[in-house]
Every structure is written in structure tokens, then in C-alpha cells.
Amino acid sequence: GWTNMPDWSAIASNLPVQKTPEDLAKRSAMFKQWDPNGNGFLSLAEIDKGLHETMGLDAVYNCKPALMRAYMASKGLKKGKKGSRDDDYVSRIEFRMLLVYLQLYFQLFHIFAKIDTGDDRRVDVDEFREAAPSLREWGCPIDDNSDVTFHKIDKDGGGQILFKEFAEWAIVNNVLEKFKDSGEDDE
């Protein structure tokens, strides 16, 4: 995968997502730090900047697809009043779920980056064929002819698997649990 990529699984494990008093305190401080204008809502730009500053992650700029998926999944989870901006931003109530989604998507991004040997943020059919044996070992549902699975994942038919398509397929097929069970994320 991409050269000089951080270990997204390790980064994900450092996010305070548990429902413990310690993680709640960390989340509270983190939200305040990420919400510089104190309006109780986080924009995508504030989340991006917060991750960069809080976790010292220059590499977060290489991980925009994972960040975008987590942002889209978490904003609007708690439905706001009609006509309000609650559904366009991540509220304090949604913040823990944002971190949970960031954890999920960073880990999926870690797997995706391993498959994307061309470092172009897309997986072509040759890269997928090359990764198919490992994906099978991890228990992923890959057809005997991996091209069949490739085309199932490539929803838009563009001839490349984008992170969004990979993530949707991976979530439906519980790929992350299979990846963890295989011990592959211990590197």
C-alpha cells in the first residue's frame, strides 16, 4: 500500500470510544479542543484540523476518504429540529459515534491501503487478484474467480474499487472482524 502510511489500526485504537469515565473525560476535552468557536457543532474542517492537531497526524491528510465516510455516517444521527443545522454537522451527542466510525473507517483504510499496491487510492482488478488469497485467508467471501467479487464491489462499474465501495462491501461482509481474528492487524 501507500508508502509512509501510518498504522491506521494503531491510531484507531487510541480514539476514546469506550463508555468509561476516563474516555468520557477525554472525549469531552477533545470536543472542546475541536470546537474552537464553542457552538457545540463540528464541521468536517474542524474534525480534520482536530485530528491533525490532537493526534499529531500529518498523515490524516492522506486519509480523507475514511474521514469523509465517518463524518457522513455520524452527522445527523440525532435528528435535529426541522430547518436547523443540526443534521449538517456533528453535535456533541454524536461525537462518540464519530470517533467509533473513525475507528472503523481508519481500520478499513489500513486494509484498503495494503491492497492498493499502486498507491493511487484505487484498487484495480490486478491488485484485487493479488490480494484475493489473503482476503480469502482472512475469511472474506471472495469467489473462486476473484474478478466476480471485484465486479460486485465495483458498484459504479468504473473498473476500479474506490475506498467508499470497498468500505461498504467490507462492512456488509464483516471484514474487519475477520481481519482481526486472522491476526493480520498485529503488524
User: Among 87-91, 101-105, 150-154, which range has the highest average pLDDT?
Assistant: 150-154
Q: With 60 as the cut, is the pLDDT of residue 81 above it?
A: no
Distance CA 174, CA 182 (A): 13
Grid coordinates of 85: 443545522
Residue 181 banded pLDDT, cuts 50, 70, 90: low
Distance CA 182, CA 134 (A): 10
- CB-count burial class (<10 Å; 0-12, 13-18, 19+) for 11: buried
Q: What is the mean pLDDT of residues 52-68?
A: 76
pLDDT at 180: 58
pLDDT at 94: 93
